[in-house]
Chain A
Amino acid sequence: MSPITVTDHTIVQEVTIKAPAERIFNALTRPAELLKWWNCEGKFQLIHAECDVRPGGGWLMRVQGANCRTGQPESVVSGEYRTVDPPTTLEFTWNRKGEDYPESLVRWDLDEKNGCTTVRVTHSGLISEQMRARNNGWSLILQLMHDYLSHDAD
C-alpha cells in the first residue's frame, strides 16, 4: 500500500493486486461483487449497490457506518459515470446525500503488468475544484486552514 498523497484536496491511494485488470474492473462495477468486498470490519459496510455502468449512467450505494468519526449510521452516496473504459479506467461523480459538500470525482486507474495490476484511486474535487474556479475563493479557505494548522502544530 502506497502512502497517502493529498494535494490540492485530491486523495490518491494505490495498491498492487495479484490479478488481471479485468477481474478488478468487474469487482468495481458489479453490484453483487461490490457487496462482497466493500466493507471494513467495525468501520463501514456496503449494504446496497446499483450500477448502470455506461457514461452518463447512474450509480448508488448505501453504506452502513460509513463515517465512524461522526457516528452517522448510514449514508447514501450516488453519482454518474463519466468514463467507462474497461479494464483500465472508471470515473464517476461522488455525492453524499444530505451533506452540504460540493460534488467530487472518483477515478480508478488499473494498470496490468505480468498478471499484477496496480490499482490507483484518485478522489478529486474534495472542496471542489469547480467551486474554487467559480467563486475564486476556496484558496483563501485552504490558506486560512493551512495558517491555522501550521500554527496549531507549533
Chain B
Amino acid sequence: MVTNARRQRDRVFRVVADPTRREILNILRGGEQTVGGIAQRFRISRPAISKHLRLLHAAGLVETSPLGTATMCRLNAKPLRAIEDWLGDYESFWRDSLESLKKYVEEENK
C-alpha cells in the first residue's frame, strides 16, 4: 500500500528537485508576489512559469489567492516537513540495524 504520506513526500521531492521551482520558492521567500511578478524574473515563458506554479501549488508549497485580475502567490514551507520525516526514518533504521548487528555478533561469539 502506498500511503498518502509517502505520495506527498515523493511529490515534495520531485517538485523541489527542479532549479526553476526552487528559484520561485526563493523569490517567494522574500514575500508575496503575483504570477506576473514572478514571471518577469525569468527568461522562460509565462505559461511555463504558470506550470511550475501549478506543481508547487499541488505539492502545497505555494498558496494562491485572487487579487483583482491577478493571482497572488505565497510560500508555505510546511510540506518540507516530509523531507525531515524521511531523514528521521533513516535515523531509526540505522540505529535499529546497529543494535541488531551487535546482538547477532556478540551472541554468536558466546
User: What is the interface of chain A, defined by CB distance below 8 A to chain B?
Assistant: 1, 4, 6, 9, 11, 13-15, 17-19, 23-24, 27-28, 36-40, 43-44, 66-67, 69-73, 99-102, 119, 121, 123, 126-127, 131, 135-137, 140-141, 144-145, 147-149, 152
Contact = CB atoms under 8 A, between A and B. Distances in A.
A151 B3 CA distance: 27
B103 A70 contact: no
Contact of B84 (A66, A131, A145): A145
Dominant secondary structure of chain A at its interface with chain B? mixed
B83 A141 contact: yes
A91 B87 CA distance: 20
25 contacts: A6-B87, A19-B106, A23-B105, A23-B109, A24-B101, A27-B101, A27-B104, A27-B105, A69-B85, A70-B6, A72-B3, A100-B13, A119-B98, A119-B101, A121-B98, A123-B94, A126-B90, A141-B25, A144-B25, A144-B77, A145-B80, A145-B81, A145-B84, A147-B77, A148-B80
Contacts of B29: 140, 144
B74 interface: no
Given A101-B13, A144-B25, A144-B77, A126 B104 contact: no
Contact of A126 (B6, B16, B87, B100): B87
